Amino acid sequence: MKLAGKSALVTGSSSGIGAAIAMRLAEEGADIVVHYRGDRDGAKETLKRVEAAGRRGCIVRADVARLPDIRRLVAKAFDFAPLDILVNNAGLEVPGPFIDVTEQDYDKVLDVNLKGVFFTTQGFAKKLIAARRPGRVINISSVHEDLPFPGFASYCASKGGLKMLSRDLAIELAPSRITVNSIAPGAIETPINAKL
């Protein structure tokens, strides 16, 4: 097991890609902080599968669009274990023609997909730097960081921003022995993409 003795926080791990990532990390030996915003049953199922793999886990509810929630999430995650890995997976999309996008819908997407990643990573990095420990950040982006997706302008903007944020933090955090990588999958049949 490559990750024996390690611990990870996976945001948005109550379903879809996040749940699969949490399980894969657990299978490799990591203890898991399962994060969710609205799907408590899904989070419980992920935790059950983590524990069935022989790993420890806990569940934390937080809205990664809100800075107080982010700070509480990071604090509770580090109370559970000294984290080694952060997977920023939580994300959402609000489809609609560009000319009809409201400020509320725009903020909803950017706050989760970009602001949430920014400040969750910041909190994670602060803890590691204070403890002089190395760490790994993995951002789950999308093929739409490069590929246009008409009707999803806010989503594309958030993922394009995430691509540059990942590149910038990879350089800025490297001296602290914190690596930052981004994965940009294409369409995967998960709850967010079911209708597509």
Residue 47: which of 88, 4, 81, 15 has the closest Cα? 15
In terms of Cβ atoms closer than 10 Å to its own Cβ (0-12, 13-18, 19+), residue 170 is: middle
CA–CA dist 161, 115 (Å, integer):
10
Angle at 76 between CA 28 and CA 110, to 5 degrees: 85
Q: Which of 155, 158, 173, 180 is catalytic?
A: 155
Q: How many residues does the chain have?
A: 196
- Residue 36: active-site member: no
Annotated catalytic residues are: 155
